[in-house]
Structure 1
Amino acid sequence: MSEAMDRIVAIRKVAAVNRWLGIWKWRNEDKDWHIMKRIYPFVLHLPLTFTYAALMWIEVFRSEDVAQAGNVLYMALTILVMLIKILNIWYRRQEAAQFIDELDRHEMYKLLRSDEIVFWQREQKTFQRIFYTYIGGTSVVGLTGYLSVLYQDTYELPFSYYVPFEWQNPQRYFYAWSYNVLAMTLSCLSNCLLDTMGCYFMFHIGLLYRLLNRRLLALRETSEVKAIPELRHIFQLHRRLRTLTKQCEILVSPYVVSQFVLSALIICFSFYRLVQMGKSNPGVFATTLQFVGVMIVQIFLPCYYGNELTFSAHQLTNSVFNTNWLEYSVATRKILNCYMEFLKRPVKLRAGMFFEIGLPIFMKTINNAYSFLALLINLSK
């Protein structure tokens, strides 16, 4: 039953979609159609996401005042973060694929009992529900933006960018609108699916730490003879998990740094746009408001899963103490004591050398966004 179960079922479909979006390594990339598979990401993203980002920044620099720049800047910064995520996954494509492949196939992470399988399946389904809701919410923001401008009296693009021709007329508006929809849809999907993969890395390792806790607690009613082989396996698995945690930090660190450094500005300019707009344009107002909600969720999710990973790793000390160690021999108790000393070394995910990935940085980002907004409103007056 354990062999038949898919251990990464929560992101199996996401990884398949990511391959078609050009942000994940293809299987057997060095065999059939290997040249097409290697150039496909560039053919897809260069004319859409990268060009679209450049046109947005041209529009920012052409703006005549802060209000006009703010209408574009909140999305230009979001697309910039997305480009950093894409470049990061392209650069580390081999390491990311090997990381997921190890979690999926390595014998060390095999589930041993039926209760572990039930636990694993339940947690994977919970992750799926959370991120399918997040992806759906992100899609709703795009659809609201695409459709709301079609019911306005004036010609307006869903998300502003520099258009190198006159587009505010019935003949050419469709071309500008269509490119906007294609580029934004690809950018939107790439952004939220890369978030899903990054959070899954942290979620899966945190889940393995929770599995270690369950196995340690299961030793409470186990004799020393049966406990020693189990403890040996737990020690080996824990040592490997420490290595995986470092690998995970390398994979997610660049995009988490960029996300949190720029998220405060993105939320600030989004709220500033809402304040300047009021309710004069209900469609654009609703789109921007939904965008702010999705952005807050986007920065909360990696904080939550990073915090859960750290908490689950720290719980190992209590789990060791709750084993049946009082009835073990002196030699075994010394080994457990050494293991508890080893557990005093904290397990933390860091985003670069700047901060730890956890709930405190989420609150700090929201506070920074509010401070920037207050400063921007005062400067505009």
Structure 2
Amino acid sequence: MTARYSIEVFACSYFGIALTLQGYVNSIVDCTIVAFYGQCELQLKLLRYNLEHLTDLDDVDLQEGTINENTLSYIDDNLIKKRLVHCVKHHQKIIWFLSETQSISNEFVTLQLSVACWTICMSVYKLVTVDMFSGEFFLTIGYLNCMLMQFFMYCYHGSQVLVESEFIAESAYCSNWVDISPRSRRLLLIFMMCCTRPLVICAAKIVPINLESYLAVLKASYTLFTILHKK
């Protein structure tokens, strides 16, 4: 009897430690991927700031003579071209970084989103069948909150990346482009046209990860729960 009790304690301890470590690993993976999305969002904000202040002149530029004595003359094309080239390279780096992030995390994110609808539905269905004041009820509530938060983190930051990328062209237009030469305006216009396509984070290269997808999954989960509950 003592040996059997010892084996049960060891088995419970082993599974408890294993599940705890697995939970920590999943949390680390989620936080890492979301941090990469947040980095893309931050870089897009920096790019938008640089575009909005594309024609600003600091003290160094004035000392180097980037603006002529005539205050009505255009800002030096070389300065604008240099800054615009930097913005173009920055934008290309952001696209590359986002592509690399998706290629690394695509399988994991796709699996998470694939089981999210079914997991949320089964958790809600289980809440209806168990006693409200039981320990199983509170465990299911905690698990459901974790799933919703995990799914929300991906969709929120994916939506933020989409929104920031959509306003790149608008940020370029908000710059004082009237003070640059027609040649520089054409270059800026070409860059704006290249930025009209927003950056969309997708699961399985098909399903966009944004708040609309989050609401769609919740709606599908509720529909599935309604069907099961009626039966």
TM-score, length of structure 2 as denominator length: 0.85
| Deviation for aligned residue 1:266 | 0.8
Aligned residue-pair number: 211
Q: Percent identity?
A: 23
* Partner Cα distance (2:133, 2:196) in 1: 57
Residue in 2 aligned with 1:269? 122
Alignment of 1:1-381 (within 5 A): 170-222=5-57, 224-225=75-76, 226-279=79-132, 281=134, 283-379=135-231
Per the alignment, residue 64 of structure 2 pairs with none
1:170 Cα deviation from its structure 2 partner: 4.5
* Counterpart residue type for residue 43 of structure 2: L
Helix, strand or coil at the partner of 2:54:
helix
CA distance in 2, matches of 1:265, 1:244: 32
CA RMSD of aligned residues (A): 1.9
Instruction: Write out per-residue CA displacement over residues 10-61 of structure 1, whole angstroms, 9 at most, x where no aligned residue.
Output: xxxxxxxxxxxxxxxxxxxxxxxxxxxxxxxxxxxxxxxxxxxxxxxxxxxx
Preserved CA contact (<8 Å) 2:55 2:180: no
**1:220/1:322 contact within 8 Å kept:** no
- Confirm or deny: 8 A CA contact 2:122 2:225 kept in the other structure: yes
- Residue type at the aligned position of 1:250: S
Greater shift in the superposed pair: 318-327 or 241-250:
241-250
8 Å contact kept, 2:55–2:80: no
Residue aligning to 2:72: none
What CA deviation, in whole Å up to 9, does each residue of 1:310-335 have, x standing for no partner? Answer: 11111111110011111111110110
Distance 2:163 2:120 in 1: 28
Instruction: Choose between structure 1 and 2 for higher RCO, CA contacts under 8 A separated by at least 6 residues.
Output: 2
Unaligned runs of 5+ in 1: 1-168
Larger Rg: 2
TM-score using structure 1 length? 0.53
Aligned-partner SS, 1:221? coil
Question: What is the Cα deviation at residue 229 of structure 1?
Answer: 1.9
Contact preservation (8 Å) 1:320, 1:336:
yes
**1:231 Cα deviation from its structure 2 partner:** 1.7
Aligned to 1:219, what secondary structure does the other structure show? coil
2: CA distance, partners of 1:372 / 1:172: 41
Q: What letter matches 2:105 in structure 1?
A: V
Give distance in 1, aligned partners of 2:228 and 2:7: 35
Provide Cα deviations, 1:164-192, integer angstroms capped at 9, x if missing partner. Answer: xxxxx754431232122111101111111
CA–CA distance in structure 2, aligned partners of residues 280 and 297 of structure 1: 23
Conserved? CA contact 2:166–2:197, under 8 Å: no
